[in-house]
Amino acid sequence: MGVKSIISGTGSYLPEKILTNADLEKMVDTSDEWIIQRSGIKERHIAADGQTTSDMAIIAARRAMEAANISADQINAIIVATTTPDKTFPAVAVHVQSALGIPHCPAFDVQAVCSGFMYALATADAYIKSGMASTVLVIGAEKMSSIIDWSDRTTCVLFADGAGAVVLEARDAKDDEGLEGQGVLSTHLYANGDGKDLLCTTGGPSCTGDVGFLTMQGKEVFKFAVKYLSEIVGEVLAKNRIHPDQIDWLVPHQANIRIIESTAKKLDMPMDKVVVTIDRHGNTSAASIPLALDEAVRDGRIKRGQLVLMEAMGGGFTWGAVLARF
Ligand SMILES: CC(C)(COP(=O)(O)OP(=O)(O)OC[C@H]1O[C@@H](n2cnc3c(N)ncnc32)[C@H](O)[C@@H]1OP(=O)(O)O)[C@@H](O)C(=O)NCCC(=O)NCCS
């Protein structure tokens, strides 16, 4: 009998302030129509001044722990996916540990931008399967507004803030349960560093000494996103020997509705089996998948026992996917 990891609870947090496309029309030369047509975004949440990534991560984590019905002393690893930590160091994960009173354990951040939550979830799953931890708090949290040039219309209309979290717990796995068993079934991670200049920040600790602003060659990134996501969902299907119609829900990273639709098309999945939050959340980078997952779990769409495919692509380039039976 082996060990598997199951998602025992989800939680999320969105800051109060909502920035609409109409608000952005007053800030840069753009239009509601352009933003909706090109990206699918209508509004997004923006953190308050002084509200940090760890502030949001802590609330999302608390909600996931409540949903999983576990206490702080049961957690024995914390992994936070973020590109926008409060400070260059220490990690957001140690802020979470301290605020929630979690006992001494490994606590670290992973940085894979928009694919960060896929990297964090895959790492947490590997921790559990190798016996290094039994209950892992996995968080995606971002204050993307802090690295946006608010005068750059090509990026400021797209990105936003928020946090999502899951509790991943070890359970005994029966050898013969296969695809029908609850828990993480397969994880897939990739990077291609040749894309590093197409989506990046203009600064950083060891080059300019400041955090810089996000810049993106949107059209190029779009092409790679469609290609890599199509490839990776194909790999998930092949590895698990499943047909797309066996997947109950696609929970994609929310960067652009057109990228989401293209992945759904590749999977031949109707859009009513795809969890879409981009219209209200914008692109919250590493937070987008756990935010979408939590929304669909709490509103009753995603039910226990259903098969969920998560996928993301981000700066680096990095991309990843996780197939799990919820
Ligand atoms: C960014 C993105 C929405 C732009 O859409 P697009 O159809 O590629 O549009 P383009 O960049 O070609 O821009 C088209 C025109 O709109 C203009 N434009 C750019 N931003 C604009 C805005 N906010 N409002 C109005 N016009 C805008 C451009 O200047 C360009 O004008 P031009 O033709 O006169 O040069 C799209 O490329 C995208 O989603 N890319 C990938 C994003 C992504 O996945 N990023 C993160 C990965 S995690």
**Can you give the pTM of this predicted structure?**
0.97
* CA 154 – ligand 1 centroid, Å: 6
| Ligand 1 probe mutation, 37, 38, 220, 283, most atoms within 8 A of CB | 38
pLDDT of residue 177: 83
User: Over 80: is that where the pLDDT of 5 sits?
Assistant: yes
Cα–Cα distance between 288 and 252 in angstroms, integer? 8
Contacts (Cβ under 8 Å, ≥6 apart) of 155: 148, 149, 213, 214, 215, 216
Cα–Cα distance between 107 and 61 in angstroms, integer? 13
The percentage of residues in the chain with a pLDDT greater than 90, rounded to a whole number, is: 97
Backbone phi, psi, residue 74, to 5° = -85, -15
pLDDT single digits (tens) 192-247: 999 999 999 999 999 999 999 999 999 999 999 999 999 999 999 999 999 999 99
Q: Measuring from each residue's beta carbon to the nearest atom of ligand 1, which residues come in under 6 Å?
A: 30, 34, 38-39, 114, 153-154, 157, 216, 218-219, 221-222, 225, 255-256, 259, 313-314
Angle between the 257-266 and 218-240 helix axes, to the nearest 10 degrees? 30
64 alpha carbon, distance to own chain's centre: 15
pLDDT of residue 176: 78
User: Over 80: is that where the pLDDT of 155 sits?
Assistant: yes
> Using 50, 70 and 90 to split pLDDT, how confident is the model at 174?
confident
| Ligand 1 probe mutation, 19, 84, 154, 281, most atoms within 8 A of CB | 154
Task: State in words which class domain 2-173 has.
Answer: alpha beta
> Using 50, 70 and 90 to split pLDDT, how confident is the model at 257?
very high
Three-state DSSP string of 231-269: HHHHHHHHHHCCCHHHCCEEEECCCCHHHHHHHHHHCCC
pLDDT of residue 122: 98
User: Over 80: is that where the pLDDT of 1 sits?
Assistant: no
User: Over 90: is that where the pLDDT of 154 sits?
Assistant: yes
The percentage of residues in the chain with a pLDDT greater than 70, rounded to a whole number, is: 100
pLDDT of residue 77: 98
Q: How many other C-beta atoms lie within 10 A of the C-beta of residue 247?
A: 20
Active site residue 253: yes
What mean pLDDT value characterizes the chain? Answer: 97
In this structure, what token pair is assigned to residue 45?
A: 């949440």
Active site residue 243: no
pLDDT single digits (tens) 12-34: 999 999 999 999 999 999 999 99
pLDDT of residue 323: 98
Distances (CA, A) of 163 to 31, 168, 288, 295, 323: 27, 16, 8, 12, 21
Task: State in words which class domain 183-325 has.
Answer: alpha beta
Half-sphere exposure of 264 (CA within 13 A, CB side): 21
- How confident is the model over 129-154, as a mean pLDDT? 98
Report whether 310 contacts 187 (CB < 8 A).
no
In the chain, ranges of CATH 3.40.47.10 domains: 2-173, 183-325
* CA 123 – ligand 1 centroid, Å: 33
Cα–Cα distance between 264 and 185 in angstroms, integer? 20
21, 76, 256, 283: the catalytic one is: 283
pLDDT of residue 312: 98
